Amino acid sequence: MEDMQVYLFEEAAKLNLTKFELGGKGYGLVEMTKLGLPVPPGIIITTEMCRRYFREGKVLLKKIEKIVMEKLRIIEQKTGKRFGDPSNPLLVSVRSGAPYSMPGMMDTILNLGINDEVVAGLVAITGDKRFAYDTYRRFIQMYGKIVMKVPGEEFDKVLEDVKRKLGAKNDLEVTAEGWKEVVTLYKELIKKKTGKELPQDPKEQLISAIAAVFESWWNPRAVEYRKIYKISDELGTAVNIVMMVFGNLDDRSATGVAFTRNPSTGEKELYGEYLPKAQGEDVVAGVRTPRPLSELKNTLPEVYNELKRIAGILERYFRDMQDVEFTIEKGKLYVLQTRTGKRTAQAAVKIAVDMVEEGLITKEEAIARIDPSDLERLLHKQIDPNIKAKPIAKGLPASPGAAVGKVVFNVEDAVKARENKEKVILVRPETTPEDIAGIFAAEGVLTSKGGMTSHAAVVTRGLGKPCVVGAESIKVDLDREIFEVNGIVVKKGETITIDGTTGSIFLGSIPLVEPKITGAIDKLLSWADSIRRLGVRANADTPQAAEKARSYGAEGIGLARTERMFNAKDRLEIVQAMILAKTVEERKRYLEKLKPFQKEDFKGIFRVMKGLPVTIRLLDLPLHEFLPKLDELLPEIVEMKIKGIDEDELKKRERILERVLELREHNPMMGQRGVRLALTHPEIYEMQVSAIFEAAIEVLKEEGDTVRLEIMIPQLSEAEELRRMRELVDRVANDVMDRLSVKLEYKVGTMIETPRAALTAFRIAKYADFFSFGTNDLTQATFAFSRDDVEAKFIPFYVDNGILPNNPFETLDIEAVGRLVKIAVKEGRKANPKLKIGICGEHGGEPRSITFFHEAGLDYISCSPFRVPIARLAAAQAALKKSLELKSTA
């Protein structure tokens, strides 16, 4: 017997199938059936059937049809209702359900099984003609659009016309006769557009709907969504055929969405929205603005309590916050869907931490649950609290964080602006799944309709973008590309600020600030600290950056670049004079002038770091970088010559020009920089080392804090370079320490940022106390890709076209750069078992790369201060992953 995976929910419940087979929605329904919760009866067709359908087509559909009809008979027996029977009709929904939630991206058809006879039957049974025809027209609208491919707007137009004729302000004001007329007009529309009649045979409706739901896997918006979220095209969707229950039947009927905890703040409370007398799609589409669940407590208290009870059961069973869709039919509650609820980053952290404290999950689970990029979201900007701006309107705070951008009204403009690197806010009456590319491109989203569970709200929360919805005082005019609020007209291209944390909308650009780490995040990160093995340091070269790094939990500075200190305005002139110097003696004089500046820089950092290790990298820029650029200098000189003024100034410029030409290199990145410059001009590093030690000793004397100094040499490619540099450092350090009668411990180490250094690590390690991988330069040199150019030029093309899986300057290239890292770690440690090894390239703050660094056995990672929390979490996750792997192989 061929394995046809078509099951009743209760049959699937016994098979222990996974989300990959049942899809998210089907999995939830089956598990809830197992728990004995009030789920309407139904049938599930697995994702495997969908994949087979794409290969086998109609032949398979025939086989599916046969089994579905057999299972339907069982549901008929159980419920007493019959498919296509006007005297007691069974209507069903046909719902998509992929393994990963793709909200609204694929298709669903409700009220299937209705036709001209059944609708008359429904009138007779319910005595509610208005309900019966409303149900019918909803079916025709969905079936017409999804199966018969009549554009959705055509149906909307018909409906708007009828409403206008009736003077109805909204759907609730459309009468029974009104809906009946809509049914007739919809059927005519289908005939006109397709040349075919709406099928009256329920079986035909059902089979064509199953095929259409399978095929909706390839909806352009679904394909786009999968691309953004990196979901495989191979998975396919399951199909759920579920008995319809009606939330639009009477005043004791309703439909809604409940979250078992607040998805915005993480607070432990039943949270959600519902619409009385409505069907599910009304809530999600944001057509009417829903009521808060707290109102249900007053109108239908027993249902509210039942919902609360079920929410508790679901949370304990799934051990996570659930997002539950429900329908109330004549006062009876049905649960139609449960899934892990999408939440803001803030809520994710709070829920995980609370659940540990409630004993629901372990600390390790809490750590594993937080996406490091969520933490990045938490570092989202907020409106500067010191600014007292008056909002022009308020809506619902759907996704936190503030954003500033120019107003655009459609997807194309949003996408175009993004390509031009312009920041925009997408403003729409409401968003639909078709808008996904625009939402992705925008800084934030503002809608005039819809609630906290509307499409715009759910999608932006997932993306971590600020969003304000349901700002009803705003009138959006898509044709004229303006919106109006209280007499203010905002045109396309004008700048606004939205605050998704409070729901406020402001005219113009309001200053934003970075938020701080507090409460739950602090706790989560302290758990992460106890789990991770990798140390986490920061790249910081000012006291301010060091301060920030410490407040984010950095355990030291892994890279203080000294060239930025040279670049500061007040020193550039001295630096230039130093470079222009004709003799070593002259150069030394200028270096002496620079020294006090450097010393102050170092002291500032040492004071903040209070005894934590500080790795100072000696100068790593070619000298010509400190001189004016040739293409600026030349025209200046020419102009001075033409005007014939200021002889002295002209001479000075010409002297600079001469030096610029001398120092010019074809490939400055590979030129006389770093250690190469230091070997040919040792006086520069001598000054720096002397400044470092004097600064450290002064801080020790003034503050009593010892300084854990690590001196780092850049651009090494040969062990002999380090041997000589070590000699220089030791000599100068000892001079200073003798002179000031203080002994300090210090380390000398090197960057490993050239392939040759990585491959000769076994020799270099003899002279090094530590290695720090400079993966920026190492990536550049390994690929022979200029790090300053390629990301703007061809990397996006490479990634979009699948030539490279990622931008290697963002996510470490494990295959080659990673291999060099591994070789250097292994051979370096073999030659010098005490060698400490870190990484200070940009990859030090990138979660996937951090996993690699953990596995490669590094001692620490170092990244920019604002990524320190992400690095702490990612390092803990890497450690958990490794220990899980060890357990599974034990």
Query: For binding to ligand PEP (CB under 6 A), which residues are involved?
Result: 559, 561, 620, 753, 774-777, 840-841
Binding partner at 403 among Mg ion, ligand PEP, none, C-beta below 5 to 8 Å by kind: none
Q: 619: Cβ–Cβ under 8 A, 6 or more apart, which residues?
A: 562, 563, 566, 674, 677, 678, 684, 685, 688, 714
Beta sheet of 475-477, edge-to-edge order: 475-477, 482-485, 488-491
Q: For Mg ion, which is the closer residue by CB, 327 or 539?
A: 539
Does 777 engage in binding with Mg ion (CB under 5 A)? yes
In angstroms, give the least distance from the CB of 776 to ligand PEP. Answer: 3
Given Mg ion, ligand PEP, none, residue 113, with its beta carbon under 5 to 8 Å by kind, binds none
Residue closer to ligand PEP, measured from CB, 545 or 840: 840
Smallest gap from Cβ 860 to ligand PEP, in A, equals: 14
Q: Indicate the residue among 469 and 716 with the shorter CB distance to Mg ion.
A: 716
Q: Which is nearer to Mg ion, 750 or 832 (CB)?
A: 750
* Cα 150 to Cα 234: distance, rounded to the nearest angstrom: 28
**Residue 401: CB minimum distance to Mg ion, A:** 33
One-letter identity of residue 367: I
Provide CB contacts within 8 A for 634, sequence distance 6+: 657
Place of tokens 């990138």: 846
Query: Least Å distance between CB 714 and Mg ion?
Result: 6
Query: 561 touches which of ligand PEP, Mg ion, none (CB within 5 to 8 A by kind)?
Result: ligand PEP
Residues marked active site are found at 455, 840
Closest CA to 730 of 746, 715, 714: 746
Instruction: Please give the size of the binding site for Mg ion, defined by CB under 5 A.
Output: 3
- Residue 447 interacting entry, from Mg ion, ligand PEP, none, C-beta within 5 to 8 Å by type: none
Q: Which of 541, 555, 710, 753 binds Mg ion (CB under 5 A)?
A: 753
**Do the Cβ atoms of 236 and 257 come closer than 8 Å?**
no
Q: Which does 282 bind (CB under 5 to 8 A by kind): Mg ion, ligand PEP, none?
A: none
Q: Which does 840 bind (CB under 5 to 8 A by kind): Mg ion, ligand PEP, none?
A: ligand PEP
**C-alpha–C-alpha distance, residues 467 and 264, integer Å:** 12
Distance in Å, CB of 622 to ligand PEP, minimum: 12
Which residues lie closer than 8 Å to 88 by C-beta, 6 or more apart?
A: 80, 81, 82, 121, 125
When CB distances are held under 5 to 8 angstroms depending on the partner's kind, the choice from ligand PEP, Mg ion, none that residue 775 binds is ligand PEP
Specify the DSSP element, H or E, that contains 631: helix 630-643
β-pairing verdict for 467-469 and 444-447: parallel
Dist CA 717 CA 732 (whole Å):
23
Judge contact between 754 and 717, C-beta under 8 A: yes
Among residues 774, 808, 844, 847, the one that binds Mg ion under rule CB under 5 A: 774
Span from 294-302, 390-398, 746-754, 872-880 in contact with Mg ion (CB under 5 A): 746-754
State in angstroms the smallest separation of the CB of 778 from ligand PEP: 6
476 binds, among ligand PEP, Mg ion, none (CB under 5 to 8 A by kind): none
Q: Which is nearer to Mg ion, 99 or 845 (CB)?
A: 845
Place of tokens 């970075």: 514
Q: Based on the shown chain and the rule CB under 5 A, indicate whether residue 842 belongs to the binding site for Mg ion.
A: no
Amino acid at 96: S
The smaller minimum CB distance to ligand PEP, of residues 669 and 700, is found at 669
Helix (H, G, I), strand (E, B) or coil at 196: coil
Closer residue to ligand PEP in complex, CB, 261/673 = 673
By C-beta, is 302 or 788 nearer to ligand PEP? 788
Nearest one of 458, 460, 456, 481 to 469, comparing CA atoms: 456
**Closest to ligand PEP by CB, 580 or 812:** 812
Report the nearest approach of Mg ion to the CB of residue 776 (Å): 5
Residue 107 touches which of ligand PEP, Mg ion, none (Cβ within 5-8 Å per kind): none
Q: What is the 3-state secondary structure (H, E, C) of 814-883?
A: CCCHHHHHHHHHHHHHHHCCCCEEEECCHHHHCHHHHHHHHHCCCCEEEECHHHHHHHHHHHHHHHHHHH
- Amino acid identity of 42? G
Dist. CA 73–CA 71, nearest whole Å? 5
Q: Which part of the chain contacts Mg ion (CB under 5 A), choosing from 192-200, 306-314, 650-658, 771-779? A: 771-779
Reported in sequence order, the residue ranges of 134-220 that DSSP labels E, i.e. its strands, are none
Note whether 347 and 261 are within 8 A (CB).
yes
Other Cβ atoms within 10 Å of 139 Cβ, number: 27
C-beta of 410 vs 776, nearer to ligand PEP: 776
Q: Residue 692 in 3-state DSSP?
A: helix
CB 114 within 8 A of CB 136: yes
The footprint of Mg ion on residues 57-116 (CB under 5 A) is none
Running DSSP on this structure, what letter comes out for residue 286? T
Q: Which of Mg ion, ligand PEP, none binds 846 (CB below 5-8 Å, type-dependent)?
A: none
Closest separation in Å from C-beta 775 to Mg ion: 9
Using only C-alpha atoms, what is the Rg of the chain?
Answer: 33
Kindly compute the dihedral angle of the four CA atoms of residues 670, 674, 675, 680, in this order, to the nearest 10 degrees: 90
Q: How far is the CB of 818 from ligand PEP (least distance, A)?
A: 14
| Segment lying near Mg ion (by CB under 5 A), choices 255-263, 611-619, 745-753, 793-801 | 745-753
**Identity of the residue, 107 or 846, whose beta carbon is nearer to ligand PEP in the bound complex:** 846
The CA-atom distances, in angstroms, between 350 and each of 226, 366, 462, 877 are 28, 10, 16, 18
841 binding partner (options Mg ion, ligand PEP, none; Cβ < 5 to 8 Å by kind): ligand PEP
| 476 DSSP β-pair partners | 483
Contact call for residues 817 and 779 (beta carbons, < 8 A): yes
CA pair distance 581, 589, nearest whole angstrom:
9
With respect to Mg ion, which residue has the nearer C-beta, 146 or 781? 781
- Contact between 443 and 465 under an 8 Å Cβ cutoff? The reply is yes
Separation of alpha carbons 770 and 710, rounded Å: 9
Separation CA 388–CA 402 (nearest Å) = 15
Smallest gap from residue 540 Cβ to ligand PEP (A): 13
Q: Choose the binding region for Mg ion from 219-227, 325-333, 766-774, 860-868 (rule: CB under 5 A).
A: 766-774
- Pick out residues in 498-527 that bind Mg ion (CB under 5 A): none
- Binding residues (CB under 5 A) for Mg ion: these are 753, 774, 777
